[in-house]
Structure formats: structure tokens, C-alpha cells
């Protein structure tokens, strides 16, 4: 990114310590953009999943998974993207972090076709569905039984490649009918990791 120093102070300290300044500088100069280019926009349009990283004002982190039909992560323009937030478990971990600390990191990975990834870092804000549709009428339509309540709108600050070296090649399987918006415990995975059962057992011991 011409005229802008890429990377954090910690990155540069470790580059100095481990002697990787030249390699890092080449990567910054060759691969890191401050906006999305046409190839990145096309890539985003065909992705059906994303990994979202947020942190609260104390730096406590959360990593979350989002998925939808290709294009659910919508490119508004080369400097702005948005993804929908649907009715979930009511915790609002990612949105709560964004409310305190707008910095977000998004990782998109193509496990099927090109075996490549795209990092997008930026500053996020929460916008109601109705308000964003008023300004961005080309937003994807809500799916039956799955209406977006809010959108996370990200101002892109960095976009760069995630190399394919260790990305596994996955073959998509037929997906069963999904019960979007359901409160059915079994359909949502139930107590797969035994957390509820453990909490109940611990309560009995106390």
C-alpha cells in the first residue's frame, strides 16, 4: 500500500528480531492492498463461508463462522463489504465485540476450486437491515424463514492473499435440508460437547 506502513509494531519487532524484514517488505509491497481489486471481488462473490475474528475493548478475542449462499458476503464497492446477521443464540458475541472495538478480520478460503484464501481487515459497524437496504438496494434478498436482522458493514483497510500451501482440497457433499431459524435443540446440534450435562453435574456436586 503506497505511502502506508503495513503491519503492526509487533510484526516489525519480530521481523527485526528474526531477520525477515526483506521477505515481509516484499509481501507488503506485492500482496497487500487497501481496497478490493476485481479478482478479489469475483472471489468473494462465489464464497459461501467466512471466518470472522473480533475482539472486545480489552483485547479478548472471538472467532466465529458465517455461511450462506454464494454472495452472502456482499461487496458494496471496492472499499466496503457487508454480511448479514440472523437470529441466533442471543449471545451476540461478535456484534458485542464490534460495539466495543470496530476492528475485524475476515478470512475466506476456497477449499474446493482454487485452494486459495483472502484476508480482509477493516473497521466494522452494525446497520439495521431496513436502513442498509434503503441505501444499498442490491443487497441479497432474505431467504424464506431466514431474515437478516442486522448487517455488519466493513470499511476495508487491508486485503491480501492466504497462500494455498496447507489448504486441504475438500469435495462438497450434498447438504441436507437446513432448518433455518429453528429452535429445535437436536437440529442445532444439541449438547454435542456435553457442556450442559457437565454444568448440571457440577451443580449437583456443589
User: Can you list the residues of the chain whose pLDDT is less than 50?
Assistant: 1-2
**Cα distances (Å, whole numbers) of residue 142 to 68, 108, 116:** 11, 22, 29
What SS3 class is residue 10? Answer: helix
The residues, any chain, with a CB within 8 Å of residue 18's CB and separated by 6 or more, are none
Q: Which three cell numbers stand for residue 74?
A: 456482499
| β-strand pairing of 116-128 with 150-162 | antiparallel
Q: How far apart are CA 41 and CA 78, in angstroms?
A: 8
Q: What share of the chain is helix, strand, coil (3-state, %, to 5)?
A: 25, 30, 45
- C-beta separation of 48 from 69 below 8 A: yes
Distance (Å, rounded) from C-alpha 146 to C-alpha 149? 9
Q: Return the pLDDT at 103.
A: 98
pLDDT at 201: 78
Provide the pLDDT for residue 108. 98
Q: Where are the extended beta strands (E) located within the chain?
A: 49-55, 61-67, 74-77, 80-85, 103-110, 116-128, 150-162
DSSP reduced 3-state for 129: helix
Beta-bridge partner residues of 85: 150
Query: Over the range 2-18, which residues count as b (16 or more CB within 10 Å of their CB) and which as e?
Result: eeeebeeeeeeeebeee
Predicted pLDDT at 140 = 86
d(CA 193, CA 122): 33
Amino acid at each position: 500500500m503506497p505511502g502506508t506502513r503495513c503491519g503492526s509494531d509487533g510484526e516489525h519487532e519480530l521481523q527485526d528480531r528474526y531477520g525477515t524484514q526483506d521477505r515481509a517488505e516484499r509481501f507488503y509491497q506485492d500482496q497487500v492492498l487497501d481496497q478490493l481489486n476485481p479478482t478479489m471481488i469475483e472471489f468473494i462473490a462465489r464464497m459461501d463461508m467466512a471466518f470472522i475474528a473480533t475482539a472486545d475493548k480489552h483485547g479478548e478475542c472471538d472467532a466465529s463462522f458465517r455461511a450462506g449462499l454464494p454472495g452472502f458476503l456482499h461487496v458494496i464497492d471496492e472499499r466496503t463489504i457487508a454480511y448479514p446477521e440472523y437470529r441466533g443464540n442471543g449471545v451476540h458475541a461478535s456484534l458485542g465485540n464490534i460495539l466495543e472495538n470496530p476492528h475485524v478480520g475476515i478470512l475466506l478460503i476456497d477449499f474446493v476450486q482454487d485452494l486459495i484464501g483472502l484476508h480482509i481487515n477493516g473497521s466494522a459497524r452494525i446497520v439495521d437491515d431496513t436502513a442498509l437496504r434503503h441505501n444499498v438496494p442490491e443487497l441479497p434478498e432474505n431467504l424464506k424463514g431466514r431474515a437478516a436482522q442486522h448487517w455488519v458493514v466493513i470499511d476495508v483497510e487491508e486485503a491480501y492473499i492466504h497462500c494455498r500451501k496447507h489448504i486441504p482440497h475438500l469435495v462438497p457433499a450434498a447438504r441436507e435440508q437446513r432448518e433455518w431459524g429453528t429452535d429445535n435443540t437436536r437440529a442445532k446440534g444439541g449438547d454435542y460437547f456435553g457442556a450442559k450435562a457437565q454444568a448440571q453435574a457440577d451443580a449437583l456436586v456443589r
